[in-house]
Amino acid sequence: MIRLDKYLSDASPYSRKEVRALVKRNAVTVNGAAAKSADMKINEEKDTVCVNGTQIQYRKFIYIMLNKPQGYLSATEDDRDPVVVDLLPEELKHFAPFPVGRLDKDTEGLLLLTNDGQFDHELMSPRKNLFKRYYAELDLPATEEDITSFAEGMEFKEFSAKPARLEIDPEDPRKVWVEISEGKYHQVKRMCERVGKNVLFLKRIAIGDLKLDETLECGNVRELTSEELAIFGW
Ligand code: URA
């Protein structure tokens, strides 16, 4: 059981002060009856709370899928550049989500955001060994030798890249798919550079078994479904 003002300030954009004002105006109902006071106790599992007739489901944590466009930093704020959090509607910003891992400013595609530190920790944990799948366009055609180089892993000055999978589009060998289980700085671009190719376009299309929802336009977001969360054991 929690207080009505806490329930609504956790689960909606209203502050506790605003909740008190709404209650005074009879704009809040609990199980169909006008709430009498902002400190009345609510059962988060059973009670139905509405503000101006719209039901507010109780939740503390949110899990968001973003189809990231180019030009945005994977950050919550920055002095110079736009950040991915700018793309969220106010009702999601209210939960103070942050990106799970990073995509480069010029990389597009699947980025998750959450305010659940444990979820972030779980997905970022190296022992989870989650594969991330990318689609890339290169300046030169990829070759069979490149597939072997990726599969052997690569040594860089600051890190070693574990074996990765490279698939080549048979119709156009400048188009490739890369799967890596880590997320080292510029990893896909650097692995491609190592085999003599520059990445001209990069898009993440999956994290483990979670695929980017192709109906989600670039720059748009939606919350993850419970089936999608279950992919990560959540
Ligand atoms: N590898 C890169 O080089 N850039 C990204 O944004 C992600 C993986």
* 213 annotated active-site: no
Domain spanning 131-207, CATH architecture: 2-Layer Sandwich (3.30)
Regarding the beta carbon of 104 and ligand 1, being less than 6 Å apart is answered: yes
pLDDT digits (tens, 9 = 90+) for 39-63: 999 999 899 999 999 999 998 899 9
What is the average pLDDT across 201-208?
98
- Percentage of residues of the chain with pLDDT beyond 90: 92
Domain residue ranges of the chain, discontinuous segments joined by +: 2-55, 63-126+213-231, 131-207
Domains 2-55 and 63-126+213-231 share a fold: no
Q: What does residue 212 show for φ and ψ, rounded to 5 degrees?
A: -60, 130
Residue 127's pLDDT band, with cuts at 50, 70 and 90, is: confident
Residue 129 pLDDT more than 90?
no
Report d(CA 120, CA 111) in Å as an integer.
12
CA dihedral (210, 216, 217, 219) positive or negative: negative
Ligand 1 centroid–CA 95 distance in Å is 27
For the chain, give the percent of residues with pLDDT over 70: 100
Domain 63-126+213-231, what architecture? 2-Layer Sandwich (3.30)
Instruction: Output the CA angle 220-133-217, nearest 5 degrees.
Output: 15
Residue 74 Cβ inside 6 Å of ligand 1? The answer reads no
Q: Which atom of ligand 1 is nearest to the CA of 190?
A: 3
Dist. CA 93–CA 190, nearest whole Å:
33
Task: State which CATH number among 3.30.470.20, 3.40.1190.20, 3.40.50.970, 3.10.290.10 fits the domain covering 2-55.
Answer: 3.10.290.10
**Residue 83 DSSP one-character state:** B
* CB-ligand 1 contact for 180 (6 Å cutoff): no
Is the C-beta atom of 187 inside 6 A of ligand 1? yes
Residue 137, pLDDT > 90, answer yes
Distance 89 CA to ligand 1 centre (A): 26
